[in-house]
Amino acid sequence: LQKTLILLQVTLSVVVGKTLMILFPDAMKRYILKMGEKSRMNQNPKFSYENWGPTFFSFKYLLFVLKVKWKRLEDEAYEGHPAPNTPVVTLSGEVCHLLDFMADNRPLILNFGSCT
């Protein structure tokens, strides 16, 4: 049921977004660029709007968003319950799971950060 509701929500947002891109291309470009500012996507001069902007509200976009949202349904964590075994990608590009890094009974420490 949750997957069906997510499918309906994402499909509706993609249809509305695609319609707005067709009817109001300049306004949607400004909107998408504004979203790119928040994620710093458009700060790289080699990565222009023409490279990524038109992919918004495409069929591939729809499939990607569905995949991410459906996967997140499995990633709920509750205090006192086992941690979700979330898929992660290593720096070499290998896909594994978070709990694969557990060693014996030692705690697993996650350190989040960012580099610019």
**For 60-105, what is each residue's pLDDT tens digit?**
989 988 888 887 776 677 788 877 787 888 888 888 888 888 888 8
Q: What is the pLDDT of residues 12-34, one digit of tens each?
A: 999 999 999 999 999 988 888 88
What's the residue count for the chain?
A: 116
Task: Give pLDDT, residue 41.
Answer: 67
Q: What is the pLDDT of residues 82-93, one digit of tens each?
A: 777 878 888 888
Q: How far apart are CA 93 and CA 79, in angstroms?
A: 31
